[in-house]
Structure 1
């Protein structure tokens, strides 16, 4: 295994972990957005379905509007946080790739100036480890995609199953 193929393997591993991080980030983002949307809908339907003393239709409408405004602020905050997480993943991936390239260039310079047989021995020893690292990174990326798919399926199932809340019962005290 040459120096170039070890660098390619390292870059592949970085790319797979980056892709896995972004996939999980997107899955969690979509889930949080869905939960906030469901909360908005449920709040409005519960408020409209119940008769609350001293709360008329105008107050109910204002409560729904206030809740939608609050959910909008929360959603903007969530989106900003996940955007920053994506940017962090990109920055880490870029820095790692740059570091791999720097090491590759340094090894190439040393190898071209000094002909040592030890470099070939080190590469031969690292070949199985590099192969294993590639396989692990591929499995992590596949796992992240599977988690994203499961979260999407679970969210669809939650949307299909509408559970009506029963009114709370008060315990009757015996005198």
Structure 2
């Protein structure tokens, strides 16, 4: 494995981990958004299903509006946090790629200036490690995609179960 292919393997590993981080970030963001939407729906249906004393339609409307404002505030915070996480992932990946390119260029320059036989031995030792690292990175990226798919399915199942569930009834106390 040459110096260029070691650098390519390292760049591939960085790209896979970056993609995995973004995939997980997107999955969790979508899950939080879905959960907030489901909570809003359940709140409105619970409020409409019960007749509460001293709560008329105007008060119910104000409660729904307050819940929507709170949900919107929380959603905006989540979206901001996940947007910043995506930016951080991009920045880290860009810096890592830049460092890999600098190291590869320095090694190539030193290698062209001096003939080092031992660098070939170091490369031969690192080739299996680089191959293993790329395989691990590929598995991590696949796992992140599987988590994203599973979170989508689980969140949909939770929403279905929450809608199908009946409210618990309390036994009336005898005085």
Q: If the length of structure 2 is used for normalisation, what is the TM-score?
A: 0.95
Q: Is there any run of 5+ residues in structure 1 with no aligned partner, and where?
A: none
List 4+ stretches of structure 1 deviating above 3 A. 167-170
| Whole-angstrom distance in 1 between the partners of 2:6 and 2:136 | 15
3-state SS of 2:61 partner: helix
Structure 1 position 63, deviation (Å) = 0.3
Residue 72 (1) aligns with residue 72 (2): yes
Distance 1:78 1:121 in 2: 49
User: How many Å apart are 1:169 and its aligned residue?
Assistant: 4.3
Distance apart, 1:159 and its partner CA: 2.4
How much has 1:166 moved relative to structure 2? 2.1
Provide the residue aligned with 2:14 in structure 1: 14
Task: List alignment gaps of at least 5 residues for structure 2.
Answer: none
* Cα offsets for 1:97-124 (capped at 9, x unmatched): 0000010011011111110100100000
- CA displacement at 1:168 relative to structure 2: 4.1
Paired residue for 2:167, among 160, 165, 168?
165
Kindly state the Cα deviation for residue 167 of structure 1 after the two structures are TM-superposed.
3.9
CA RMSD in angstroms comes to: 1.2
Q: CA deviation at 1:81?
A: 0.3
1:167–1:63 CA distance, 2 compared to 1 (3 A): farther
Normalising to structure 1: TM-score of the pair?
Answer: 0.95
The aligned residue for residue 28 of structure 1 is 28
